Amino acid sequence: MTSLSLLVLIVFNFALVGLLPVLFFRRDGAFNLRWIATGAPFFVAPFALVLGYVGILPLTDDLSVAGTTLLQGFATLLSATSIGLIAMTVVSHRVPLALWHQDNDAPVELVTWGPYRHIRHPFYSSFLLAFLAGVLAFPHALMFGCFAYGFVALSITAAREEQRLGNSEFGGQYRRYMRASGRFFPRLM
């Protein structure tokens, strides 16, 4: 069973992700259908965690106490890392970003410092860490589905953004940057 403190941490993590468009992104965007489709698992996952915690959405297999403790420890670490990465990414920007999935989200600057030094999409990396924390805290098919759907949706969004950046005035610089950085996780070599 997931502890209440871990539940609060992960739900806070998802709430922070959900507040980014309101608190950080530019106001010239709209919540269009692509945005809603990509964001859907971010709304489902915390509700699934709460429903699992209160027993409405039960696990199918019981895990050993030692296994549960280990998973909860990793989930705590991943969620805390996600929150820290979100904070580091926010402070890396000099100007607010466009709300993704917009037709007018042309880049204003190319950010290659802070977490962007090693990862092209640190916001998305932090989102994936939040999903993974949720899966470890509550290993249920719905959480696995949210993680898988979120990974695919963020991969499609990242590829679209990379194409736009590659075709922008920063194209040459961005292509060099792509060779030196990983999409969601740092390159090992």
Q: What is the pLDDT of residues 32-78, one digit of tens each?
A: 788 788 889 999 999 999 998 888 888 655 555 555 788 899 999 99
126 within 8 A of 89, measured Cβ to Cβ: yes
Mean pLDDT, the chain, integer: 87
What local confidence, expressed as pLDDT, does residue 137 receive?
A: 92
Average pLDDT over residues 132-145: 93
79 within 8 A of 10, measured Cβ to Cβ: yes
What local confidence, expressed as pLDDT, does residue 100 receive?
A: 60
What local confidence, expressed as pLDDT, does residue 39 receive?
A: 87
pLDDT, greater one: 28 or 175: 175
How far from 40 is each of 4, 21, 47, 99, 117, CA to CA, in Å? Answer: 24, 14, 11, 16, 29
Q: Please say if the pLDDT value at position 6 is more than 70.
A: yes
Query: CA–CA separation, 154 vs 69, rounded Å?
Result: 30
Say what the pTM is. Answer: 0.90
Structure token digits, residue 88: 């580091």
Instruction: Name all contacts of 152-155 with Cβ < 8 Å and 24+ positions apart.
Output: 153/37, 153/38, 153/41, 154/38, 154/121, 154/124, 154/127, 154/128, 154/184, 155/183
Structure token digits, residue 40: 């859907």
Instruction: Name all contacts of 103-111 with Cβ < 8 Å and 24+ positions apart.
Output: 104/28, 104/29, 105/29, 105/161, 105/164, 106/164, 106/168, 107/164, 107/165, 107/168, 107/169, 107/170, 110/165, 110/170, 110/173, 110/174, 110/177
The pLDDT tens digits for 151-164 are: 999 999 899 889 98
What local confidence, expressed as pLDDT, does residue 48 receive?
A: 94
Query: CA–CA separation, 120 vs 58, rounded Å?
Result: 37
pLDDT, greater one: 18 or 98: 18
Which residues is 182 bridged to in the sheet? Answer: 119
Q: Please say if the pLDDT value at position 143 is more than 60.
A: yes
What is the C-alpha radius of gyration for the chain, rounded to an integer number of angstroms?
17
Average pLDDT over residues 112-119: 94
Average pLDDT over residues 116-144: 95
Region for residue 114 given its phi and psi (left: phi exceeds 0; alpha: psi -120 to 50; beta: otherwise):
left
15 within 8 A of 46, measured Cβ to Cβ: yes
Structure token digits, residue 43: 């709304």
Name the band, by pLDDT with cuts 50, 70 and 90, for residue 123: very high
